[in-house]
């Protein structure tokens, strides 16, 4: 996972436990290891890509995550900002969806709501226009 640090030189970052969980979860997704990612998810997780239907429950979320780790399919993330506030972790990032030679890159703002040290709600906001533009650029690069 690529991270862009915006910290002044000489400062150190101290993540909360919830921020560490979200970082580890995203790292597992980037590694293509849904089984490692699963340990960070609450049994009653709700995954919501805003404007799309919600995916409810660990089994349903894991089916999607396992599909993202099939041969020729992948995920990468460039994390720009991450912050914890109470039981929420906020992220600003660039997600990369990979299918064979196609790489679709688009901006995402994510909210992870925590319960018992695990991700109970994963809500991502993104522009459909940015997603389509990223996919079009990816198609052009693939050819």
Does the annotation count 95 as an active-site position?
yes
Which residues are registered as beta bridge partners of 105?
96
Token duo for residue 38: 């699963």
- Active-site residue (options: 18, 44, 124, 130): 124
- Active-site residue (options: 27, 44, 76, 95): 95
Residues with a known catalytic role: 95, 124
């Amino acid at each position: 996972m690529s991270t862009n640090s915006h910290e002044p030189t000489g400062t150190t970052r101290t993540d909360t436990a919830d921020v560490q969980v979200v970082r580890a979860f995203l790292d597992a997704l980037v590694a293509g290891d849904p089984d490692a990612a699963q340990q960070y998810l609450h049994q009653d997780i709700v995954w919501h890509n805003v404007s799309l239907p919600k995916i409810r429950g660990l089994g349903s979320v894991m089916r999607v995550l396992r599909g993202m780790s099939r041969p020729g399919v992948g995920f990468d993330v460039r994390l720009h900002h991450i912050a914890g506030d109470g039981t929420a972790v906020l992220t600003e990032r660039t997600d990369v969806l990979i299918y064979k030679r196609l790489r679709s890159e688009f901006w995402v703002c994510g909210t992870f709501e925590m319960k018992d040290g695990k991700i109970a709600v994963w809500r991502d906001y993104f522009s459909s226009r940015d997603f389509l533009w990223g996919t079009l650029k990816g198609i052009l690069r693939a050819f």
